[in-house]
Amino acid sequence: MLHFRFNISRIWLIVKAPSFTSPLVPRFLVSAASLVTNRFVNSIATLASLTFSYAAIADIDVYPPNWWVGMEKPTVELMLHGDGVANYSASINATDVTVVDSKRLDSENYLFVTLNTDSAEAGRVVISLIAPDGSSHDIDYALNARRQHSQSRVGFGPKDAIYLIAPDRFANGDESNDSVDGYKDRLNRDNKGGRHGGDIQGIIDNLDYIADMGFTQIWSMPLLENAMDSYSYHGYSTTDYYKIDPRYGSNSQYQKLSEKASEHGVGLIMDMVLNHIGSGHAWVQDKPSKDWLNNQGVFVGTTHKRESLHDPHAIQSDIKAFSDGWFVPSMPDLNQRNPHLATYLIQNAIWWVEFANLSGIRVDTYSYSDKGFLSEWTTRLMQEYPNLNIVGEEWSVNPAITAYWQAGSHRHDDYVSALPSVMDFSLQHAVADGLTSKEGWDTGLTSIYETLATDFLYGEPNNLVIFADNHDMSRVYSQVDEDINRWDMAMTFYLTARGIPQVFYGTEILMSNPNTEDHGIIRSDFLGGWKSDTKNAFTGKGLSDDERWAQSRIKQLLSLRQNYPAVFEGSFKHYAPVDGVYAYARQANAKNPPSIQGDKDTNDTDEKKVNSKSPVILVILNKNEKASTVDMNKYNMVTNGKKNMTRLKDDKEFASSETVTLAPMSANVFIVK
């Protein structure tokens, strides 16, 4: 039960402060006006004698909104947000849950309450907030049971293929949420940087297409609320870490997407932003503490000099300028050195894994967050989910810098990282350069070969996420000058090389961005995602012959992962390019490889580790403008004496010892058995 007492001085402060944004302001003013009108019209002195109790809290937001019992770490820190809530103390009515800490920071509108759930059973508990005068406000809080085997969930891996979607540009499944009251950025499909209406329902409606193509994971650009005035569709300006943007759908609809995707054999990877928020976030106007945002909440641009984190000659000011700087004024940079903010972000990631049954996480602008926090964040996530996969975006073409962040990599310092995977930007750069530059002793395909030769830097190179393009760069078809043969070589490589392939939506139908680098064009609408579209990639209606061929080629290449998953979890061996021809092989690892101690030949040793009964996927790229002939005996070290091989594109049979003619500018895939 709430107890109300009024204080005229508090009402006067509210009236005099038009910038005050608490949702309680209208309630206070209405209450005061009612009292003045109905009871004290002739006696303002009587009104002045009334006082408010702290217990008159109308709305309290609780983050996380619920938790689970049986977690690896038994404590959870709740952030309570409400007008004046920091003036309260917290207690709990349960015998199996205790309040171990209650703390306020600089703002009176936040209270941090830590619960110990070590002995808790699933159910609901009541958290009582006690005002200084003894009155109280109760919060009903749920501690849920976890899904069976939640902790042992297996994340995405090398046997998978990821489909990257810009949700606003993929498919409009629910026109009723194209524009939503209270959100200024409304539907404007004619604006390349505007909202186009794609949503979660559009993804759900087309899960058949995604699965039929052969994709086994979906990575969607962020779906959380971005309550910004404009250019909000990309999703990287979070304004509520626990709420799906209503223009995409709802939290329950996101759960439904995960469930329906799982029924199709497809996992869900969530794109998380730890480094910054949108300027429309409540933390900007009312920071829990003065140090919640970097640079005292004032814009200072980042230098983007990620090298400073690794430079043995760097000075501290350069490191700080990189990590603490903001991307743009509309994206305030978070200070994860604040332990309460760090805990908030860690718990938020865990909450979404549990709530939406995620198979993985992609972390935006990974290295821009505080290094110590990233160690804590990854360690905590992997303690809770030892088999989950998390991939960090470290946009560097230097593999030494990229490898630094992956767990198990050799580092120049004692930094601890539990991050399983990183995005392989160095390989992406090498492939784009290798396929478009002239062949030479140190150019062309050699760029790809030399980049892969640095895999010794990585803790687990086969767990890197590899890609021809993504939402922040030119589409691969444009990168290779809209040459369909080069596109085929690129996509064949990415869908058969070591690592976990990610394909950007529309790559399968040759989407491009000629003569522009504008992200709004790069993220154009997928054909067939809107009722008015005359071409439809989901059904094939209106597609050109080249678009149809490209779509079937991606599907054909992805079928290899479905038919031979163990091969892609296994070894990768390549031959140095010679005269514009580059070859490599994939083969499953042996289940019980023999002891290799005492072996002197490293290559022979590695060959002993493969499964000799497994088929070999042999890929040969011919970048020459004319046909090339290849004696297949050259590759008998990786084909392990197998006699027959089938070419993927046409099912033509060959003997593994014969000479084969490779078409000009071609990607050739052979299944050797």
**Cβ-contact 68, 146 below 8 angstroms:** yes
Helix (H) or strand (E) holding 83: none
Domains 61-144 and 566-672 are alike in CATH topology? yes
Residue 205 in tokens: 């409606």
**Cβ-contact 361, 353 below 8 angstroms:** yes
Is residue 263 flagged as an active site residue?
no
- Position 16 pLDDT exceeds 90: no
Domain boundaries, the chain: 8-48, 61-144, 566-672
**CA–CA distance from 171 to each of 456, 521, 526, 530 (Å)?**
41, 16, 7, 6
Q: What is the pLDDT of residue 58?
A: 61
- CATH 1.20.1440.230 for domain 566-672, yes or no, is no
Q: What is the pLDDT of residue 12?
A: 28
163-181 average pLDDT score:
98
Q: What is the pLDDT of residue 497?
A: 98
**Short-list 631, 635, 634, 636, CA closest to 658:** 631
Q: What is the pLDDT of residue 640?
A: 84
What does the mean pLDDT of the chain come to? 90
Residue 69: phi and psi, rounded to 5, are -85, 160
Burial 599-616 (b: 16+ CB within 10 A, else e): eeeeeeeebeebbeebbb
Burial 627-658 (b: 16+ CB within 10 A, else e): ebebebeebeebbbebeebeebeeeeeeebee
Q: What is the pLDDT of residue 613?
A: 81
Residue-wise pLDDT for 461-487, tens only, equals: 999 999 999 999 999 999 999 999 999
Residue in the block written with tokens 């979607």? 165
Where helices occur in 311-463 by DSSP H, the ranges are: 316-324, 339-356, 371-384, 399-404, 425-436, 445-452
- Position 429 pLDDT exceeds 60: yes
- Position 119 pLDDT exceeds 90: yes
373-389 average pLDDT score:
98
- Position 3 pLDDT exceeds 50: no
627-633 average pLDDT score:
96
What's the pLDDT band for 59 if we cut at 50, 70, 90? confident
Q: What is the pLDDT of residue 542?
A: 98
**CA–CA distance from 115 to each of 76, 101, 121, 424, 456 (Å)?**
5, 7, 13, 40, 44
What's the pLDDT band for 451 if we cut at 50, 70, 90? very high
**Cβ-contact 241, 63 below 8 angstroms:** yes
Residue in the block written with tokens 């084969």? 660
Q: What is the pLDDT of residue 641?
A: 85
129-139 average pLDDT score:
91
Beta bridge partners of 125: 141
R_g over Cα of the chain: 29
Q: Which long-range contacts (CB under 8 A, 24 or more apart) does 72-76 make?
A: 72/151, 72/383, 72/384, 73/380, 73/383, 73/384, 74/116, 74/117, 74/118, 75/100, 75/114, 75/115, 75/116, 75/117, 76/114, 76/115, 76/117, 76/347
- Position 42 pLDDT exceeds 80: no
- Of 125-129, 326-330, 506-510, 636-640, the least confident: 636-640
Is residue 364 flagged as an active site residue?
yes
**Cβ-contact 273, 335 below 8 angstroms:** no
302-327 average pLDDT score:
96
Q: What is the pLDDT of residue 503?
A: 98
- Position 383 pLDDT exceeds 80: yes
Identified catalytic residue from 393, 394, 525, 547: 393
Identified catalytic residue from 83, 168, 354, 364: 364
Q: What is the pLDDT of residue 612?
A: 73
| C-beta atoms surrounding 472 within 10 Å | 15
- Position 321 pLDDT exceeds 90: yes
- Of 145-149, 228-232, 295-299, 609-613, the least confident: 609-613
Residue 244 in tokens: 């799906």
- Position 257 pLDDT exceeds 50: yes
Pairing state between β 162-165 and 500-504: parallel
Q: What is the pLDDT of residue 1?
A: 32
- Position 258 pLDDT exceeds 80: yes
Strands (DSSP E) found in 11-165? 61-63, 67-68, 75-81, 89-92, 98-103, 110-116, 123-130, 136-144, 162-165
Residue 103: phi and psi, rounded to 5, are -145, 140
Q: What is the pLDDT of residue 147?
A: 95
Residue 672 in tokens: 């050797």
580-600 average pLDDT score:
70
Q: What is the pLDDT of residue 57?
A: 57
- CATH 2.40.100.20 for domain 61-144, yes or no, is no
Task: Give percent of the chain above pLDDT 70.
Answer: 88
Q: Is 65 helix (H, G, I), strand (E, B) or coil?
A: coil
